[in-house]
Amino acid sequence: MSIHQFNFKNIVGKEVSFKSFEGKVVLIVNTASNCGLTYHYKGLEDLYQEYKDAGLEIIGFPCNQFGKQEPGTSEEIQSFCDLNYGVTFPLSEKIEVNGSNAHPVYKYLKSELKGKLNDSIKWNFTKFLIDRDGTPYKRFSATVEPEDIKPYISELL
């Protein structure tokens, strides 16, 4: 089993297969525009610019499950990310990461890489690093800064 069996809808509603990322290292992050960690967008974009030509893909999954910190529409989220952080990496439509309505890719990632207490996502900007074969490699808590993930990305690239 790998992440390549899953699909998601991007921020404009187009179906995207994770198969399109085969051979790439992928960093998956649940995001929010009104969070104390929203500045992570800048660090994520910096990582993307530094490593995208080497085979890194970052995908942001907006989620409103934590403190209702992502209340906007897809258009508002995209505009916020463009204007405030110059985000060029792909974003999905808004999803849920916990509970019965959790997106299938998050159900899979949480089952493969459990958190400290259980498999639930605790907050915005939890990060999952996926290797080139689509296998979940490492999970990072929300408080891990994007630049602190560089050694792990370099290891996989």
Pick the catalytic residue: 35, 91, 121, 130? 35
List C-alpha distances in Å: 120 to 34, 66, 96, 99. Answer: 21, 12, 11, 8
Check the CA dihedral 22-110-57-34 and report its sign. Answer: positive
Whether the CB-CB separation of 142 and 117 falls below 8 Å is answered with: no
- 70-84: burial string, b at 16+ Cβ within 10 Å, e else: bebebeebbebbeee
Whether the CB-CB separation of 95 and 62 falls below 8 Å is answered with: yes
Confirm whether 35 is a catalytic residue. Answer: yes
Q: Bridge-partner residues for 57, per DSSP?
A: 26
Cα Rg of the chain (Å, integer): 14
**Positions marked catalytic:** 35
